[in-house]
Amino acid sequence: MEKIYYGEETKKALQNFGRDLLPSELIKAYGEVKLAVLSAIQEVENRYNEKEWYALKTACEEVISGELIDQFPLPLYQGGAGTSINMNVNEVIANRANELYKESRFHPINDVNAYQSTNDTFPTAITIVLYRKLLEAEENVIKLQETLIKKENELGRILIAGRTEMQDALPITLGQVFGSWAGMIERDRWRIHKLKERIRTIPLGGTAIGTGYPVPQLVIFASEKYIREITKLPLSRSQNLPDEIANQDKWSELASVIKIIAENLYKITGDLLLYTSSLSGELKHPELQYGSTIMAAKTNPVILEYTRGIAISIKHECEKISSYCENGQLQLNPYTPFILDSFLKVFDCLNKAINTFIDKFIFLFEINKKRIEENLIRSNIILNGLVGLIGYEKVKEIYRIVEEKGVNTIEGLKEIIINNSRLSKEEVDFYLDPLNLSSFWRKWKK
């Protein structure tokens, strides 16, 4: 029979909330919290002899390393603000330490939970988990931004039809389109960077309601030191512990930032759906799988739809997080386990969406230059780009001539402009250059 290290309180929780497996990220973080506080107690009070301390420390390290992963059979969906999870960790560490050093009997609460409460240790563990998740998300957001910027540089001379309100408007380069998307992701990157400062605070040492009762001040200070050393994260004890325990608005802010990233992904992939659609056809979606079981020549935009579907899911999950955050009462928010559960889903989905979008679409899509040119000439938006040079009425006159003659090439368009305006061939060639059509006017020089 498999050895079980958890005890009676965990078994009661199993009866109340059912069986699952706590996320490995949380188990590791909680082990780090326990090791930090116990290290602080040992430093300040020298409570345990060498063999006792070795047993306690080793048990904590085994929790951190994942060796005891199967000893945490609880779901995150539970009442009690994480008390069952804290007790699960306490029982496992105590019983494993007792096994390592049989001459002493470590108690789950009196020893492993000394100078602690669920209300300061569980939020601290959550902060560790989510800070690490945010760092991973930041790397992927940076990767997306850099990929879009690379495309911006590669496609800087490909002129396409710019559109407003779903109608042809003015010329723009495909590089500028990718650059505008990169701008959104750049702001996402900036928001994440700023947010790291606000979510790094922890309530460790505040115990039940932030008063710190009955923890010695030196233990509080040492706990903060050890949690930073163990996690290698820039964690900082909150200067307002009652606030840090009672109010979870920092997680609502994090959810808002992740929601904005999802919304930006939704916007980018929505634009790409139009560019790759049969209606536009200026870009080609990678042919990754059969598009239809009956239409052999059809390619479905599966990656764009996948990314958009995930973005919708993220947005709604973030709204749930905000609801959990606003429903704390008085000195505690009991929904922190639910907040963590939703965030783990959100970060997993976000990272998958970004990496799949980059690897399966941005690296693989094709440009349909023939369709781009056809759309440019048919829409006459190049003429709209000359309003500042030859005037509104002259452009409308030339537009009518183009329509009457059925012009469908750039060279034919240039000829009509030369014959019906004051511009020379050299000037027309200059002003119809893609860079000039899609940027601030440069003064013509003979």
Higher pLDDT, 370 or 115: 115
Higher pLDDT, 25 or 430: 25
Residue 442 has pLDDT above 80, yes or no: no
CATH number of the 8-114 domain: 1.10.275.10
Q: For residue 188, what pLDDT is reported?
A: 98
Q: For residue 261, what pLDDT is reported?
A: 98
Q: How far apart are CA 53 and CA 109, in angstroms?
A: 16
Q: For residue 443, what pLDDT is reported?
A: 56
Chosen CATH of 129-202+242-367 out of 3.30.499.10, 1.20.200.10, 2.30.30.90, 1.10.1740.10:
1.20.200.10
> Given pLDDT bands bounded at 50, 70 and 90, which one contains residue 164?
confident
Pull the structure tokens for residue 45. 């009070």
Q: For residue 373, what pLDDT is reported?
A: 84
> Which residues are paired to 367 by β-bridges?
283
Domain positions in the chain are 8-114, 129-202+242-367, 380-437
pTM of the model: 0.90
Q: Convert the pLDDT of each residue in 358-405 to its tens digit.
A: 999 999 999 999 888 888 877 777 887 788 888 999 989 998 898 888
User: What number of residues does the chain have?
Assistant: 446
Range with the lowest mean pLDDT among 92-96, 360-364, 380-384, 441-445?
Answer: 441-445
Mean pLDDT along residues 260-289: 92
Let me know: does 157 contact 173? Beta carbons within 8 Å: yes
Q: For residue 291, what pLDDT is reported?
A: 58
> Given pLDDT bands bounded at 50, 70 and 90, which one contains residue 1?
very low
Q: For residue 222, what pLDDT is reported?
A: 98
Q: Convert the pLDDT of each residue in 267-276 to its tens digit.
A: 999 999 999 9
Residue 253 has pLDDT above 70, yes or no: yes
Residue 436 has pLDDT above 90, yes or no: no
Q: How far apart are CA 4 and CA 9, in angstroms?
A: 13
Residue 39 has pLDDT above 60, yes or no: yes
For the chain, the 3-state helix, strand and coil shares in percent, each to the nearest 5, are 65, 5, 30
φ, ψ dihedrals at 332, nearest 5°:
-155, 145
Write the class of the CATH domain 380-437: mainly alpha
Across the chain, which distance is largest between two alpha carbons, in Å? 103
What dihedral angle (degrees, nearest 10) is formed by the CA atoms of 39, 218, 28, 320?
170
Give percent of the chain with pLDDT exceeding 70: 96
> Given pLDDT bands bounded at 50, 70 and 90, which one contains residue 260?
very high
Range with the lowest mean pLDDT among 93-102, 206-215, 432-441?
Answer: 432-441
Nearest CA to 29 among 107, 140, 123?
A: 123
Mean pLDDT along residues 224-244: 97
Give percent of the chain with pLDDT exceeding 90: 74
Mean pLDDT along residues 179-207: 97
> Which residues are paired to 168 by β-bridges?
163
